[in-house]
């Protein structure tokens, strides 16, 4: 906990000092971040921040990069797009900021992109698999698998074991309808079609009608592409009416938040993950993450989101190392484009100049009786 407090104090102070206080040659290497640190998505934002801090602290404890410390300058956007855009402008004005990292969603990322493009700075590891963010942008580097990768994995797995009746829960917005289209295409390739589609608004709390329509269709599998509260409320209401279907959520919901929201009523719910199991310390990167997280937090409190952030931070630091002694926005971009297949420790992130989608790794986990998603 002390490490987080020190860095937070340094980051807050950084907003108040003039550019000359951080000479590029020997000052800290600063990574900027806007993420939800308050409000309904606070847990997600804290996990993203803490995963990155765990790795940056590890690097700093070993002497930094060419003697320069890495500092994470995290600003709270409270899951508000106006805030994320304003934070981006503020971050880009700060001296020493060589990359932006770990924005909390596609919704929060997209208002930042015009400013990113104007500043010609790397925008690394936005926490989203949404299709609009996957199109090649010279400044955007996606660490994780896409939602399309996750949804294909779900359909492939359950259709292989005999499921034929699929229902879909999605938001009535651009990302939600894109996810629905992916499921429809995956089913069509197997001669199937959804037996029910529940389209809801992000702010919708009355789910009685979509739940009733879904139950009436008697699905084998219900695929949820919504955030944790909508997903949990839908599952709980359906379970009260004794639905027999298997519920499967994409990683979009956030595993920690979804597990907490479901509680014991969610035991048996399946969720896709885009990193290895946080409990499988036979994987070198997971073992490394656990040790660094324990040191940062002072307790064993692992999450898939913070592991994802840890891995993404490690890939970014490797690019910064390769940028040489002249660490600047342009040199970091060149290094990311030349990263190639980088093995972080049993998990490979690949960036090239023509492909900025670093991984397509997807695994299925299930909520166990200890309320943890496990393989």
Q: Where are the alpha helices (DSSP H) in 113-227?
A: 113-119, 147-160, 174-188, 208-216
pLDDT band at residue 22 using 50, 70 and 90 as cut-offs: very low
pLDDT digits (tens, 9 = 90+) for 201-258: 999 999 999 999 999 999 999 999 999 999 999 999 999 998 999 999 999 998 999 9
pLDDT digits (tens, 9 = 90+) for 69-94: 999 999 999 999 999 999 999 999 99
pLDDT at 339 over 60: yes
Q: Which domains does the chain have, with CATH numbers?
A: 2-144+281-351 (3.40.50.2300), 147-273 (3.40.50.2300)
Q: Strands 140-141, 348-351: parallel, antiparallel or unpaired by DSSP?
A: unpaired
Q: Between 228-240 and 208-216, two packed helices, what is the crossing angle to 10 degrees?
A: 60
pLDDT digits (tens, 9 = 90+) for 297-313: 999 999 999 999 999 99
Residue 207 backbone dihedrals phi, psi, to 5 degrees: -105, 10
**Cβ pair 328, 24 in contact under 8 A:** yes
**CB-side neighbour CA atoms (13 Å) of 289:** 34
pLDDT at 23 over 90: no
pTM (two decimals): 0.90
């Amino acid at each position: 906990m002390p490490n987080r407090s020190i860095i937070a104090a340094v980051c807050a102070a950084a907003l108040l000092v003039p550019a000359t206080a951080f000479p590029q040659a020997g000052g800290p290497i600063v990574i900027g971040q806007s993420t939800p640190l308050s409000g309904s998505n606070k847990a997600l934002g804290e996990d993203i921040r803490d995963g990155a801090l765990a790795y940056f602290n590890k690097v700093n404890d070993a002497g930094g990069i060419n003697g320069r410390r890495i500092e994470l300058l995290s600003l709270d956007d409270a899951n508000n797009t106006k805030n994320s855009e304003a934070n981006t402008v503020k971050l880009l004005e700060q001296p020493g900021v060589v990359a932006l990292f770990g924005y909390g969603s596609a919704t929060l990322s997209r208002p930042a992109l015009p400013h990113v493009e104007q500043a010609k700075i790397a925008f690394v590891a936005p926490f989203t698999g949404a299709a609009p963010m996957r199109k090649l942008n010279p400044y955007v580097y996606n660490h994780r698998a896409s939602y399309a990768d996750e949804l294909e994995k779900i359909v492939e797995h359950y259709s292989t074991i005999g499921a034929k009746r699929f229902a879909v829960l999605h938001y009535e917005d651009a990302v939600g309808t894109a996810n629905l289209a992916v499921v429809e295409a995956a089913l069509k390739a197997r001669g199937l079609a959804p037996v029910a589609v529940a389209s809801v608004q992000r702010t919708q709390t009355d789910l009685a009608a979509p739940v009733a329509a879904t139950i009436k269709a008697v699905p084998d599998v219900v695929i949820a592409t919504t955030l944790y509260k909508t997903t949990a409320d839908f599952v709980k209401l359906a379970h009260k009416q004794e639905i027999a279907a298997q519920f499967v959520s994409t990683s979009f919901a956030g595993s920690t938040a979804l597990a907490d929201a479901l509680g014991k009523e969610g035991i048996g719910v399946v969720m896709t993950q885009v990193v290895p199991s946080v409990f499988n310390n036979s994987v070198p990167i997971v073992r490394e993450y656990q040790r660094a997280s324990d040191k940062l937090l002072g307790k064993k409190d692992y999450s898939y989101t913070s592991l994802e952030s840890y891995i993404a931070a490690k890939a970014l630091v490797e690019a910064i190392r390769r940028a040489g002694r002249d660490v600047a926005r342009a040199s970091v971009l060149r290094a990311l484009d030349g990263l190639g297949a980088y093995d972080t420790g049993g998990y490979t992130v690949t960036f090239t100049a023509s492909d900025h989608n670093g991984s397509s790794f997807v695994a299925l986990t299930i909520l166990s009786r200890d309320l943890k998603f496990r393989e």
